[in-house]
Structure formats: structure tokens, C-alpha cells
Amino acid sequence: MPFTMIRQDITRLKVDAIVNAANTALQRGGGVCGAIFRAAGPAQLQAACDKAAPIKVGCAAITPGFALPAKFIIHAAGPVYDRRDPAKCEALLRSAYLEALKLAAAHGCGSIAFPLISSGIYGYPKAEALRVAKAAIQDFLTEHDMDVCLAVFDKEAFAVSKTLLGEISSYIDEHYVEEHSFKRRRLLEVEKKASAFAPSTYSAPFMETAALPQGIADLIDNLDEPFSDTLLKLIDSKGKTDAEVYKKANLSRKLFSKIRTGKNYTPKKPTILALAIALELTLDETDNLLERAGYALSHASKFDVIVEYFLLHGKYDIFEINETLFQYDLPLLGGN
């Protein structure tokens, strides 16, 4: 997918390029840098680095990947964090990401994986380092198509506000835990026998459906309409372009094209939810779009409950949603 976050050893990723958080001399170091050298082949990689060194802070150089699954290693030199000049540090860190991405594009890379540059021994606060990384990558992806992943190993980097997490936790407790506890209860044998002779007094809980906006109601009149046709009408009705939608949905152009042109193709549920976020649909509109593809939001799924919270509150930043899902160790929105 265009931009995702993972917890995985960067040296094992099957991408076109991985990024090494390098020093300006391109010498083997510790941490992620040391792991990359060990996995690639220390002697070969150091020889290649010696030819490219030195580089400036905020710049990047490229070498072969040698024994790595990745074809290339891009060595990006981030700044040592200086609390006296955070603005300069941010500019240099942003430059390191952008220079690495430009090098990857120049060498025909379709996918690239980053560590969180400068957040180790260079002392850059993890939450700030993630904010800069995310902004630089998102800006690059507005003009380029590339799959970018960020390998992050601890949740300390995620600056999801405590207030937001508290609200989501409460929403989960109300809509997920109680539903689960009700659904998982089994009838006692005596209750089963009684229910066989007694008239039913229980009716399943239901959600009252609000009247649909006229534009959305029109879209679902023809139940045999392919999903792609429904999506294209929604895009037009919201006044958005295809590019705006697939980029905001964190989808690749290739996947969006498949959805757009495939009359018999139905995307997966997380992809539809990503499109709903990009289109800024209401919860009712999202329910109808999901129904068109044969899906529904379920309170038996913590993933669904969290996405429902954001839809219900009109919060459409897919990266904020994904950071929250990451906190709960759940899949992210978007896809290839």
C-alpha cells in the first residue's frame, strides 16, 4: 500500500529499497545501521559505502543491497537532535526522507522501507521524528506513486492524543465489550426447554436507520449496479477527482484502477472503509456502500468499532485512524 506502518525487521522486507539511518561517513554503526551491514554483507557494503562517502546531513546515497532481499540500500543521514534549534533539525530530517525518496524514484523503485531516522542514538524525540517522517512521506506521495512503509518497533513514537485514545477506549467498551458479552452467552438447558414452549418475547436489538440523503438514496435504487459504478457516482456527487480519492484513501493507483474498471471486482472491506474515509461519508452512507459489496460494520469486530467511531465523529484523517489501529495491533486501512 502507499504508506503503512509495520513492526518488522527492516532487513527482511521484500521491497525495492530499504533505508539505512546512516552517519555522514557511511561507516558501519550500531542499531539499525549495524543490522543492515550484517545482513547485507559487511565487507561488500562498506566497500560500496566508501566510494559514495562522505555525504552531508539531510542528504542520501545509494548502494546495492547485496545479500538483502532489497535491491538497493539508500543511506540517509539524519541530524543529531539539538533542543536549541528544533526548526533546523526538522528541516534536515525532512530533507533526509525526501532525498531518500527521490533517489528511490530515480532508480525505478516501486517500494521502499524506512526506519525512524534519527530516533535512536541521535536523540530525536520519537513522536516528533514520526511526525516529520509522516509529513515528508505524505507530501512526496501527493506527486508520486510508490509503496512506502515505516518500520517502527515501539508505540512510544505514536502521538495519538490521550484524550482521543480515552474516547475510543470508552466507545469500544460501550459498543464492543458489551455486545461480545451478550453474544457469547449460551442458554442454560432449562432456558432452552422453557423457550420451546413459551412465546418469544425477545426481539433482536436494531439500529434505527436515519432517512438517507436524496443523493445517496438515488445511488442504491438499482441493487444490481456494479460496485465500481456506485463508487464513481459517489466520487462525482462529492465533487472529488479520482486521484484525490485514492491518495486520501491510502490506496495505490493500480488498485484504484482495478476497482474503477472491474465491473465484477469487489474490493475487500478495509479498502471500502478507506474509500469511505476519503469520500468523507457519514456512517449511514458508509453502511450503504458496504452493503453494496455484501459487507456490514460489526460490533463483534474491534477494527470495525474503531473505524465506526471516526466516521460517527466526522474524523477523516486516514493516517490518524491508522495510528490508532496500530496502537491496538489491528490491520491498517488502505491497500495495494
Q: Pull the grid cell for residue 225.
A: 449496479
What does pTM read for this prediction? 0.76
pLDDT of the residue at 165: 72
pLDDT at 140: 95
Residues 172-184: pLDDT tens digits?
888 885 544 444 4
**pLDDT tops 70 at residue 108:** yes
Whether 118 contacts 21, CB under 8 Å: yes
Whether the pLDDT of residue 223 is over 70: the answer is no
pLDDT given at position 159: 56
Residue 177 identity (one-letter amino acid): V
- Please state which of the ranges 39-48, 162-171, 197-206 shows the lowest mean pLDDT: 197-206
All domains of the chain, ordered by start, with CATH? Answer: 3-157 (3.40.220.10), 162-327 (no CATH)
pLDDT category at 195 given cuts 50, 70, 90 is very low
pLDDT at 56: 98
Mean pLDDT taken over the chain? 85
Query: Which of the four pLDDT bands, split at 50, 70 and 90, describes residue 276?
Result: very high
pLDDT at 160: 58
* pLDDT at residue 204, rounded to an integer: 36
Please give the share of the chain, as a percent, with pLDDT higher than 90.
63
Intra-chain end-to-end CA distance of the chain, in Å: 4
pLDDT in tens, 128-163: 998 999 999 999 998 898 999 998 866 665 655 567
Secondary structure (DSSP) of 81-96: P-TT-HHHHHHHHHHH
Partnered with residue 21 across adjacent β-strands are: 76
Strand order in the sheet with 17-22: 3-6, 147-151, 111-114, 17-22, 72-77, 60-64
- Over residues 68-89, mean pLDDT: 98
Can you tell me whether residue 25 is helix, strand or coil? Answer: coil
Question: What pLDDT does residue 89 have?
Answer: 98
Express each pLDDT in 212-222 by its tens digit.
555 555 554 55
CA atoms within 13 A on the CB side of 289: 30
Q: Can you tell me which residue has the cell 509495520?
A: 6
Query: Residue 91: CB partners within 8 Å, gap ≥ 6?
Result: 58
Q: Please count the other Cβ atoms lying within 10 Å of the Cβ belonging to residue 214.
A: 8
Helix axes 302-312, 162-172, angle to 10 degrees: 120
Q: How far apart are CA 53 and CA 87, in angstroms?
A: 26
